Amino acid sequence: MGATKRIFKFQNHGLKKSILGFWSVILTINILTYILMVNFNSKIKIGLFSSKDDIFSIVGGNIMPIFIFFIVYGIIMYHEDFALALSFGVTRKDFYKSVIVNNIIVTLSFAAIQVILQIIDKYFVASLGYKPMVEFGIFNTATDNILFIVLTLSLLFLTFVSITNLIGVLQYRFGYKFWIGFGITAITLQILGNFSAKKILGFSDMYQWIWSRFNSSTAIFLTFVIAIVCYTLGYFIIRKANIRK
């Protein structure tokens, strides 16, 4: 456990500054958006919109930048920390355990900050004369308990981070070969997807029927399973990866 704690502190040395810088920029953008909307009589609307133009969330637009941060975070961690940590005598197992603990703390803190901002956001949006967006699929900021929302969003973030972690592991081990394979796979799936959607009778209706049967508990369970699978695959891949200088 001592080795895990040491590498955990090492990983968080630069991460704290990155997180502080990220949220400083995001909060500045959110505040400036509120100011612009007030000064321009709400003619400017920036954020997350529903199908109805009068229902939106300014802070809801933070989700995409958060996902982008997680993508960079998942890839850079291995390029900047992995080889150096092993050179100090840290085992791959201890490093990977630290990665998972780090991911859990980061996603939990990001979810807590985002949920607090979304709850505050609905009052600001309402004060501007609009109906705030409170329904976000697997949670509702108007009816659900704040602890439930934080945990649900944390799990969603953790699932996404587990995927970016797996991408980071694959990219570290296979380098440019991974991106070539990734590009070919993405193009192939897109072509097959378009073909299936056009050629297979009832494909769209079947998809909508399956999705309509999902509820929040099912979605949470599926994200949990995805996270476990991604982290497990990542561990078996990174433990056989050559050290890159």
| Domain count within the chain | 1
In a domain, 98, yes or no: yes
Main-chain phi, psi angles of 211, to 5 degrees: -65, -35
In a domain, 93, yes or no: yes
Q: What is the pLDDT of residue 106?
A: 92
In a domain, 194, yes or no: no
In a domain, 169, yes or no: yes
In a domain, 203, yes or no: no
In a domain, 188, yes or no: no
Three-class SS string for 7-34? Answer: HHHHHHHHHHHHHHHHHHHHHHHHHHHH
In a domain, 205, yes or no: no
Q: Classify residue 135 by its DSSP letter.
A: B
Range of the domain at 38: 2-174+214-238
Q: Strand 131-132 relative to strand 55-57: parallel, antiparallel, unpaired?
A: parallel
Question: Does residue 197 register a pLDDT over 50?
Answer: no
pTM of the model: 0.78
pLDDT in tens, 104-161: 999 999 999 999 998 888 888 887 777 777 777 777 777 888 888 898 889 889 999 9
Select the more confidently predicted residue: 76 or 214. Answer: 76
Counting residues of the chain whose pLDDT is more than 90, the rounded percentage is 12
Q: Out of 76-80, 150-154, 182-186, which region has the weakest mean confidence (pLDDT)?
A: 182-186
pLDDT in tens, 18-71: 888 899 998 998 888 888 777 765 555 565 665 555 677 788 888 888 988 998
In a domain, 6, yes or no: yes
